[in-house]
Every structure is written in C-alpha cells, then in structure tokens.
Amino acid sequence: MKQFIAAIFILSLIGCNKSSDGYSISGELKGIENGKMVYLSELDKNLQPTKIDSTVVKDEKFSLDLPEVTQSNLNFLAVEGVNGSIVFISENEPIEFEIYKDSLPTSDVKGGKENKTFYTYLHHLKDVNKKVMGVRTDMRKVMTTSRDSAEIASLQKTESELKDNDITFKKKIIKENPKAFTSVLVLTDMINMGTPANEIKTLFETLDEKLKQAPLAVSLKENLDKRTAVEIGSVAPNFTAPDTEGKPVALKDAMGKVTLIDFWAAWCKPCRMENPNVVATYNKYHDKGFNIIGVSLDKENQKDKWLQAIADDNLTWTQVSNLKFWQEPVAQLYGVQAIPAQFILDENGVIVAKNLRGDDLDAKIKELLEQ
C-alpha cells in the first residue's frame, strides 16, 4: 500500500462539478492515438488496484458511465502505452480529465467535493515537501560551509514548524470532512509518519460509521489496534520465536527486572552502529536485573550473517528470529516498520519507553532499576 500512497503525493490539480445517479468519467487525452485502451482500477479489499472497467480512445477522448458508488474509494486511471496512472476518488459526480501523454503529473482532474478535498490535500503535501526539502538543502550548505550553530538552529526550528503546521492541517482536514475518503488517506499518512497510534485512533473514531467500513479504513483500524497494543503504558504482547539454535524462546521467559526488546538485523547499518552502546548498557546493568532479547529481521538464506554479526558485535544476550525479513512475525506483532526499534519493559511487562539511544537508554535503564 505504501507505493500507492507515495504515488498519490506526486499527482496534482483540483476542481469540482455536479451530478445525480451514478457517475461518469470522461476526458481529453492529448497526443494519445485512437484505439488505445483506458483502464479504470480501484483499491480492492486486499488494498491492491483491481481493474473494474475500460474503454477505447476515440478522437483523443474517452468516456465511461459507471454505477452509483455506495462508498467512495481510491481509483486509478491508466492509459495503454503511458507510464504511471492518475489517482482520484470515486464519487457520484461527473469527473473530467485532461490528460497529457508526456506529463501525467500535470493532468487536470475536475470532480465533486470528494476530489476537491483530495486534491487540496495533495497540493498541501507537495507544498510542504517542497519547503522541507528547501530547508534541508540550506541545512546541508551551512553544515559544509560556515557551520553557524545559530543558523542551523534557526533552520531546525523552521523545519519543526513546517511539520507542526502539516499535522495541524491534517487534523483540520479530518475534522471538517468526517465522511470523506480523503480523511482515511490522511490518517494512513499520519500513522506512516510516526504519529502516536492512540492519537490517530481518537481521530479515527470521529469518522462517519459508513466510511469506517471502506477496505482501507478497515485495514487502518487493524493497524491501529496492533499499534496501540504496543504503545507506552500497554502490556507488551508475549511472543515465542526460535533462538540461534532453533529452540523456541518466549518473551516471558527472557525477562528481567527491566527488559529491552531490540529489533535489529545484520544488514542494518544504523543497528550495527548502535550495538556498541547497547552492549555497554547491558554489561553495566545486567547484574542488576537488566535483560535484553534481540529480534532479528535477517533473511532465511542469510542466517550465517546473523550469527556472524552476533559474534562480531559481542551480543551475548538472547537472540531470536524466524528469519523472515520484514515479514518477521514478532516485528509485525509490534508494528515495527523501521529498525533499529526498541521497547523497554518494566518488571510487569509494561512498555515504559521506546526507541532510546546511547546515553538516553543508559539513563532510563538506571532510573528503572533504582525504582
């Protein structure tokens, strides 16, 4: 699904119109010869685009009459021989396209309220992304030239403000459009950018009940349920996974007074760079009740690299893995989408902190052990 959300971000332009029963899509295709096919797809229950209709280009134009939709959905319009697709929202309004063969991102889409909301959101994303990239470009220049700390701090503040404004805009979209399919897309984007699951779940509950039945909304709710189960304050889900010798090890049997669940992989450079800090903290506090269980996202055919990394990095604590890469069941249970990822548990198995590094990790373990 990430590819589709990412594809949405680079598409553009908005409009509005009006209609009655069902809806139609039609438009002009500049430079597309007669006989080429136009394909219409929609997001299915498995969150994959599935073709639902097609038509033939005639006189650089196309049209399709479609049945009334009971729930708006993410749709994709593709043209034979042209790379990419145009994304829009199905709605019971006429939707008009002006498609440019050599420049799909500049194609014009005019529809009803759903598509107006959708493309307003896309414009916002493009604008925010452009500004953030500009700030980061300026940051790189300063870092390689003057290294002026005041200027760097100012640029960091600017980027932070841009991100805060982005979140505010997203929340406004959801609040003002509880029935719009775009609101589900916004919430999906928010969870992918790391917004706390409990906060997103609260926003999700404000959506129209009918909208919550859309496949993407159902998938989002399942994701939120999983993530809230591993939020700070929740009891960590128990799991069992094979250790380096293939013997099953359960989390509950590897816990100490304080426990760190450390998601990593031999191929993950940031993980390997952080490992010396984790080793130092473990050696410092293990005798006082600090335990670690490492969960690797290595691949099935690279077990030797996993074992070598354990030896090279002196990871002497319990290590488990199903060697399923990003399909690692324990990682999926904990909603891990990037590594390194860490969960710190107290003696009761309650998650008390997440993703601490270096001195912050050391300080938190010391604090918990002294309680």
pLDDT tens for 231-277 read: 899 999 999 999 999 999 999 999 999 999 999 999 999 999 999 99
Domain that holds residue 148: 115-228
Last-in-domain residue among 114, 138, 167: 114
Question: Would the pTM of this model clear 0.85, i.e. be above it?
Answer: no
Is the domain of 214 the same as that of 297?
A: no
Q: How far apart are CA 334 and CA 263, in angstroms?
A: 10
Contact 155, 142 (CB under 8 A): yes
Whole-number pLDDT of residue 91: 95
Residue 312 lies in a domain: yes
Residue 253 lies in a domain: yes
Residue 41 lies in a domain: yes
Selected residue with higher pLDDT from 25 and 1 = 25
Is the domain of 285 the same as that of 322?
A: yes
Is the domain of 57 the same as that of 89?
A: yes
Is the domain of 245 the same as that of 136?
A: no
Total number of domains in the chain = 3
Q: How confident is the model at residue 339 (pLDDT cuts 50, 70, 90)?
A: very high
Is the domain of 137 the same as that of 59?
A: no
Q: How confident is the model at residue 158 (pLDDT cuts 50, 70, 90)?
A: very high
Is the domain of 134 the same as that of 197?
A: yes
pLDDT, tens only, 27-80: 998 888 899 999 999 999 888 999 999 999 999 999 999 999 999 999 999 999
Is the predicted pLDDT of residue 15 greater than 50, yes or no?
no
Residue 235 lies in a domain: no
Find the CATH number of the domain harbouring 287.
Answer: 3.40.30.10
Residue 233 lies in a domain: no
Residue 257 lies in a domain: yes
Mean pLDDT of 310-317: 97
Q: How far apart are CA 152 and CA 44, in angstroms?
A: 46
Find the CATH number of the domain harbouring 44.
Answer: 2.60.40.10
Is the domain of 167 the same as that of 60?
A: no
Mean pLDDT of 323-351: 95
Q: How confident is the model at residue 285 (pLDDT cuts 50, 70, 90)?
A: very high
Q: How confident is the model at residue 21 (pLDDT cuts 50, 70, 90)?
A: low
Mean pLDDT of 140-144: 92
Is the domain of 297 the same as that of 340?
A: yes
Q: How confident is the model at residue 184 (pLDDT cuts 50, 70, 90)?
A: very high
Last-in-domain residue among 198, 228, 258: 228
Q: Count CA atoms within 13 Å of residue 172 on its CB side.
A: 10
Whole-number pLDDT of residue 204: 97
Residue 349 lies in a domain: yes
Is the domain of 161 the same as that of 214?
A: yes
Is the predicted pLDDT of residue 17 greater than 50, yes or no?
no
Q: How far apart are CA 82 and CA 62, in angstroms?
A: 15
Helices 181-192 and 149-176: angle between axes, nearest 10 degrees: 150
Phi and psi torsions of 51, nearest 5°? -65, 135
Average pLDDT, the chain: 91
Is the domain of 178 the same as that of 282?
A: no
Is the domain of 215 the same as that of 292?
A: no
Residue 234 lies in a domain: no
Is the domain of 83 the same as that of 143?
A: no
Last-in-domain residue among 114, 131, 165: 114
